[in-house]
Homo-oligomer: A and B are copies of this chain.
Amino acid sequence: MVEFDDSFRRQLRDLFVWRRDVRRFRSDLLPDGAIDRLIETACLSPSVGLSQPWRFVTVDESARRRDVIDDFKACNADALNTYAGERAARYAALKLSGLEQAPGHLAVFADKISDIGHGLGRATMPETIEYSVVAAITAMWLAARADGIGLGWVSILSPDRIHAILDVPASWKFVAYLCIGYPEAECDQPELEKAKWEHRREASEFTLRR
């Protein structure tokens, strides 16, 4: 049995505060095996019915990376078109991915038909399969930051296109595309807050009692 002390709890809070979505990476390569170690940590996460539905695809081939970047550019141009005026100008100025610079690319999928776990816990809420994968990504994100490694989650992508580019099994649902590398700078404030796109609210705004 393991107990944690105040010093650890303070550092854990620092980890939550300083974990950021990183879009600006240094060009240094990651140490050998760094991404595999993060995947191993991710697999310590909870999953519905112990289904372990996480499927990780490290993307190293430059042609596939290029196709992913092209898909991001197309989706981002479409997104820009949904804004107008001042908001469009501000959207256009945002840096929303580090796909071009990040030394590591990792796509993460959820296997919707895996029989690991014998279907337990997901009959009324099949989406708990994807949720289990998100829990694993969250753990990996925190572990990466503790190693001084930055992670950026890119969601401005077409799931069908990513599925085709990476040629993965049909039952795998695309959950996230992660850029991984050493960050240019550390920060305790979200990029979108620094850019005055949005600000963080108090927890009390989001809480009801029943």
Contacts and interface: CB of A to CB of B under 8 A. Distances in A.
Q: How many copies does the complex hold?
A: 2
A113 interface: no
A65 to B, nearest CB: 10
Nearest to A83: B118
Interface of A: 1-4, 8-9, 11-21, 36, 39-46, 48-52, 54-61, 64, 75, 78-79, 82-83, 87, 91, 94, 96, 107, 116-125, 127-128, 130-131, 134-135, 137-139, 141-143, 145-148, 153, 155-159, 166-168, 175-176, 186, 188, 190, 192-193, 197-201, 203, 206-210
23 contacts: A3-B148, A4-B15, A8-B11, A9-B146, A12-B15, A12-B142, A12-B146, A16-B45, A21-B46, A40-B203, A43-B200, A55-B206, A58-B210, A75-B123, A87-B118, A107-B210, A116-B198, A124-B155, A125-B157, A131-B134, A134-B134, A135-B138, A139-B142
